[in-house]
Amino acid sequence: MKSRELYAIFEQMADLMEIQGEQSFRVNSYRRAARTMKELTTDIDELAKTGGIVELPGIGKGMAGKIEEYLASGKIAAHQELLQAVPPELPALLEVPGLGPKKVALAWKELGVVDVTTLKSAIDSGKLAKLKGLGEKSVLQISEGLSFAEKSTGRTPLGLAMPLAEELVAAMRAVKGVRRAEYCGSLRRGAETIGDVDILCESDDGAAVVKAFTSLPQAKKVLASGTTKGSILVERRDGVQVQADCRVVPKASFGAALQYFTGSKEHNVRLREMAVKRKWKLNEWGLFDGDKPLAGEDEADIYKKLGLSYIPPEQREDRGEFEPEAHTTLITLDDIRGDLHMHTDASDGTCDARTMARAAQERGYEYIAVTDHSKSSAIANGLSIDRMWKQIERIRELNKTLKAITVLVGCECDILSDGKLDYPDQILAACDFVVASVHSALRQDRKKVTSRVLKAMENPFVTLLGHPTGRLINKREAMDLDMTAVIAKAVETGTALELNAAWQRLDLCDLHVRQARDAGVMLCIDTDSHSTAQLDQMRLGILTARRGWLRKQDVLNTRPLPDLRKWIQKKREKA
């Protein structure tokens, strides 16, 4: 989408301007424009035709002109000028966790740091730590961030890979001669990051299908083209290129190939061992007894012939899925009755509460909780105590006008560095639903950060621990949190743990979800939405939940509203 491309360009322009010392009001104007482009759900081309661009929030005539320039030419001259004013590899340093525009500017201008190599040299020599405003602790974080960024290279987050794969599958289903097309690989298993995008097609004319695949308009470069497999480079919505592979198999092998190329490797090894014990052979072409085919057309038949119940793709990691207790009904998107963590324009969201409620109702939800940021989140326009009281009144009044959906009064209350909460108990008690989250001092040592989280969970008005580890996929490592202690405290206090479905977070991860489920903790899957479009991220949370073996009964927001209220009240009554 062009609005997404403009979002990336405006963000980079703001960063480059900050590096070059531009005035903050100019930098912020581009950040506001970037945010508008990020949240835009209307076709930007259509807005341009009707002159509606200047009516968008944060978009004046000058910015509208740049958008129109990009729509016409694919470039913005001012953006190109900013890029030419800095060394070519300097902007890439902004991807290193711990390095923002101001630190990049300082390292460049004072030490001649222009790329990863010179950054490492500045760290190793000790020169970076001597710069004003940095120091040993800050440089240690940058060094750790650099190491983390290098380990993450080449992996695409689930939320960026999924729409790309769906677009490619839709295109291949429209190709003449293709009877079935599905994505597979780690993406089908719902893994939080993936390597390549894998597409499987059923057809009798492999060469023609591969040719169609390598000729797709999404193909930026053709890497390989054969009679049964083709490889291309495609572009994510953030401009990064990813390899996509298409394999073509006949009808008799489609199910076996779908199973094989979905994996995981460890899961497939276990299946092959089961086949070998029966003196059979299992591969991507089918399950065979000698030359006699036993199964292959349908994926479920592979499992059935091997004496197994069908194992959902999300469970195929060789983590106990072959055991009898694994055979359970996993949660689905249809089980969700509401979303209990979202933001409105009262803090850093883009829509008002009524608009969010209407969008949730369209998705079939019975309830939502509006949980705008608390006062210490200044960067997110957190609500002062006075503004929060007015918010409570406003949401109560809104509910009087709604019929098919209920809006719970909530807040996302910061857990401060000493474990205290950002709002007094009087405000928390007036809320229906309280999300407590860590947003600052994430690099505290294990003992300190765990202690502050446990202290917050003891508050009787805290319903949910939001995005518990604070990680950002491929961007920021999780806090050094003792999850075993957090899970034990959740059981003790009756606090739910969040599975934050925002694609940048997916926090808790699948392993911690499974650990919490096994301990009997109640989990809650929320999108942390800042716009109506982000409500659709719920499906990413469901994939992670299924990887953690969650069932409907393990998830708080699958409950009808009266049962949800009872569950919340149970902890409050303990006080």
Q: Are residues 238 and 285 in the same domain?
A: no
From CA 92, how far away is CA 504, in angstroms rounded? 19
| DSSP output for 533-564 | GGGGGHHHHHHHHHHTT--GGGBGGGS-HHHH
Q: Are residues 365 and 397 in the same domain?
A: yes
| DSSP output for 167-231 | HHHHHHHTSTT--EEEE-HHHHTT-SEESSEEEEEE-S-HHHHHHHHHTSTT-SEEEEE-SSEEE
Q: What CATH number does residue 314 fall under?
A: 3.30.210.10
Alpha-carbon 87 to chain mean position: 31
Confidence (pTM): 0.80
Please list, in sequence order, all residues whose beta carbon lies within 8 angstroms of the beta carbon of residue 423, skipping any fewer than 6 positions away: 374, 375, 385, 388, 411, 413
Residue 548's domain comprises 333-574
51 φ/ψ sector (left φ>0, alpha ψ -120 to 50, else beta): left
At residue 20, what is the residue type?
Q
From CA 457, how far away is CA 163, in angstroms rounded? 36
Q: What CATH number does residue 568 fall under?
A: 3.20.20.140
Q: Are residues 383 and 520 in the same domain?
A: yes
Residue pointed to by tokens 């829509």: 351
Q: Are residues 495 and 553 in the same domain?
A: yes
Q: Are residues 301 and 349 in the same domain?
A: no
Q: Are residues 159 and 292 in the same domain?
A: no
Q: Are residues 176 and 288 in the same domain?
A: no
Going residue by residue through the chain, which has 575 residues, state the pLDDT in tens, using 9 for 90 and above.
578 789 889 999 999 999 998 888 889 899 889 888 877 766 788 888 888 898 888 898 899 999 999 999 989 999 999 999 998 888 888 878 778 898 898 899 989 988 888 998 889 898 988 888 788 888 887 887 777 666 655 689 999 999 999 999 999 999 999 999 999 999 999 999 998 999 999 999 999 999 999 999 999 999 999 999 999 999 988 888 889 999 999 999 999 999 999 999 999 999 999 999 999 999 999 999 999 999 999 999 999 999 999 999 999 999 999 998 888 999 999 999 999 999 999 999 999 999 999 999 999 999 999 999 999 998 899 999 999 999 999 999 999 999 999 999 999 999 999 999 999 999 999 999 999 999 999 989 999 999 999 999 999 999 999 999 999 998 888 999 999 999 999 999 999 999 999 999 999 999 999 999 999 999 999 999 999 999 999 999 999 999 999 999 999 999 999 999 999 999 998 76
Pairing mode, strands 433-437 and 464-465 = parallel
Q: Are residues 365 and 504 in the same domain?
A: yes
**What pLDDT, on a 0 to 100 scale, did the predictor assign at position 215?**
97
Q: Are residues 314 and 414 in the same domain?
A: no
Q: Are residues 386 and 437 in the same domain?
A: yes
Length of the chain: 575
CB 43 within 8 A of CB 112: no
At residue 365, what is the residue type?
Y
**What pLDDT, on a 0 to 100 scale, did the predictor assign at position 438?**
97
From CA 392, how far away is CA 427, in angstroms rounded? 9
Structural domain ending residue among the three candidates 110, 126, 152: 152
* Count of domains forming the chain: 4
Identify which of 366, 418, 409 has the alpha carbon closest to the alpha carbon of residue 391: 409
Q: Are residues 570 and 430 in the same domain?
A: yes
Structural domain ending residue among the three candidates 107, 136, 152: 152
Tell me, what DSSP letter sits at residue 121?
H
At residue 147, what is the residue type?
S
Q: What CATH number does residue 240 fall under?
A: 3.30.460.10
CB 184 within 8 A of CB 201: no
Structural domain ending residue among the three candidates 134, 152, 170: 152
Q: Are residues 88 and 179 in the same domain?
A: no
